[in-house]
Chains A and B, each alone.
Chain A
Amino acid sequence: DAKTTQPPSMDCAEGRAANLPCNHSTISGNEYVYWYRQIHSQGPQYIIHGLKNNETNEMASLIITEDRKSSTLILPHATLRDTAVYYCIVRARSTGANNLFFGTGTRLTVIP
């Protein structure tokens, strides 16, 4: 599985967009980019995933560069409840996929 690199921490003002970067320069053609987050004392929560096209759902947008070596998760209007650790995971989306390697993630703090 391709490794990912994320900044350890970021701050964002409430109401502003939070842009969380992830580098995955060794990603292979069949690997997707997944984003999860973990709010303190809760289980991880799936956010979004993508292959090469930009994706958007009710929680966030995912922008993947054309060469697929990096991506950015965008929370368009961050709220205090978005304070969490965000994990970028690269994984083949195939049957039998098992171990989601969560790494250390980015700790996002949304500031009032």
Chain B
Amino acid sequence: DAGVIQSPRHEVTEMGQEVTLRCKPISGHNSLFWYRQTMMRGLELLIYFNNNVPIDDSGMPEDRFSAKMPNASFSTLKIQPSEPRDSAVYFCASSTGRLLAYNEQFFGPGTRLTVL
């Protein structure tokens, strides 16, 4: 089992540029979550999908952020345009989506984003 795969692992970009983060959930998992972690605010949920459908995006900070899940094995988180305050580690997590199992989430290694 390869676990949750995220790419890139590190991204350095300049303010105003578009950034795309990618995630491949564990095969067979129906729920996918995007989190952001900073020293100031800790770990925050941005958005989560169930069966490829966005269920709750209330954590997305603003319109510059968007997320898609075109199929069960791939999701993207896009920031356009990026700003220095977006610098953080972005984690993707997945869970089986089975009844009563949403809270047992498996996290990827994260993408460390630095916006200059």
Contact = CB atoms under 8 A, between A and B. Distances in A.
Contacts, number: 57
B102 A96 contact: yes
Contact of A102 (B42, B48, B56, B101): B42
A43 B110 contact: yes
B110 A93 contact: no
What is the predominant secondary structure among interface residues of chain A facing chain B? loop
B99 interface: yes
Interface residues of B, number: 24
Interface residues of A, number: 22
Interface of B: 4, 33, 42-43, 45, 48, 50, 55-56, 59, 91, 93, 99-110
Interface of A: 32, 34, 41-46, 49, 89, 91, 93-100, 102-104
